[in-house]
Amino acid sequence: MKVLRLHGIGDLQIHEESLPEPAPGEVLLKVKAVGVCGSDVHWYHEASIGAEKVKDPGVLGHEFSAVVSGSNKLVAVDPAINCRACEHCGGGNPNFCSELRFAGNPGQDGAFREFINWPEYLCHELPDTFTAEDGAMLEPLGVALHSFDLGHGFPGMTVAVIGCGPIGLLVIQLARLAGAVQILATDPLEHRLVAAREMGATQTIQTSGMGEIDEIMSHTRDGVDVAIEAAGDNNAVEVAIAVARPGARVVLIGIPSEDQTSFQSSVARRNGLTIMLVRRMKHTYPRAIELVERGLIDVRSIVTHRFPLKRFSEAFDVASRREGLKVVIEP
């Protein structure tokens, strides 16, 4: 089978490898669709995220769907393998598992390959109406759901979404579904703002430094109830803090390249803000599947580019340039 391995900064190579043998409790999966996540782009350009660094040539890719070998069963795959025994797992927080292994991170090869073994309990069977791309998009939808949960949204709220990549666009849809009366979305790219309006944003603002703060505030009484940063840029964090009203929640999703996040502490302190950082997701796949199946959330139109595995270089270049919305590789 063909496997795409990251050897170092900007160094992805296709290898020919033997078909893996499932361990007890695992199933052999034929990978059908894998989304290129912003974190994959970080790994590709920097061979690291924070303190984690590429040591051995590993396989990226954690947003994926597959067919169980020997069947026609299409599944969405939860990429986080937790121990199911530690205090965090027992307390309902498997995303904090002390032994967690995550697809595409050092020590756990991901899905940019033709076949993969994965624990059967993490494979969620999909309805017949789902495509393989729909299944792959359930992972970013899960992150959006977990992020929105942390924001404690409520009907009648005002929301700012700072960054309109795929996860930001999914958050916009969730805010609309939850009854937000105002959803203000920002991004530097016009085509993403067009998508934000289509997904339910009531106002969109093209970013230019920090200039969007005044414009966001002009649409609210004294700021927004929930500010969600989904850009991975420190200016976006500053904007989220600045536009949050007293007592509001600020949710930080993005992964900064510099591994540092800063903001004006006096503003956050005076306004008594609750600042939440997102650690992936937990227990979201059943909800995500139902939301898509019932037509309440649109994941399909977010996928704009598709490439076979052999065109991986082009796929990563398109994702790096932020062309379109979601890039998918189909092994």
Q: pLDDT tens digits, residue range 225-244?
A: 999 999 999 999 999 999 99
Q: Which amino acid belongs to residue 91? A: G
Query: 103 and 62 in contact (C-beta within 8 Å)?
Result: yes
Query: 6 and 44 in contact (C-beta within 8 Å)?
Result: yes
Query: 120 and 286 in contact (C-beta within 8 Å)?
Result: no
Asked if residue 79 has pLDDT above 80, the reply is: yes
Q: Both tokens of residue 312?
A: 């991986």
Q: Is the dihedral of CA 108, 112, 115, 121 positive or negative?
A: positive
Q: Which amino acid belongs to residue 33? A: A
Q: Which residues, 6+ apart, have CB-to-CB distance to 323 below 8 Å?
A: 304, 305
Domains along the chain with CATH numbers: 2-137+299-330 (3.90.180.10), 143-277 (3.40.50.720)
pTM: 0.96
Q: Which residues, 6+ apart, have CB-to-CB distance to 214 below 8 Å?
A: none
Query: For residue 329, what are the β-bridge partners?
Result: 34, 307
Mean pLDDT throughout 291-308?
98
Element (H, E) at 37: none
For residue 219, give the DSSP letter: T
Query: What 3-state class would DSSP assign to 301?
Result: helix
CA–CA distance, 245 with 233 (Å, rounded to integer): 21
Altogether, the residues listed in the chain come to a count of 331
CA–CA distance, 182 with 297 (Å, rounded to integer): 18
Q: pLDDT tens digits, residue range 158-211?
A: 999 999 999 999 999 999 999 999 999 999 999 999 999 999 999 999 997 777
Measured torsion, CA atoms of residues 174, 153, 253, 222, in degrees rounded to the nearest 10: 120
Q: Do the strands 2-8 and 224-229 form a parallel or antiparallel pair, or are they unpaired?
A: unpaired
Q: pLDDT tens digits, residue range 98-154?
A: 999 999 999 999 999 999 999 999 999 999 999 999 999 999 999 999 999 999 999
pLDDT at residue number 50: 82
DSSP 318-329: HHHTT-SSEEEE
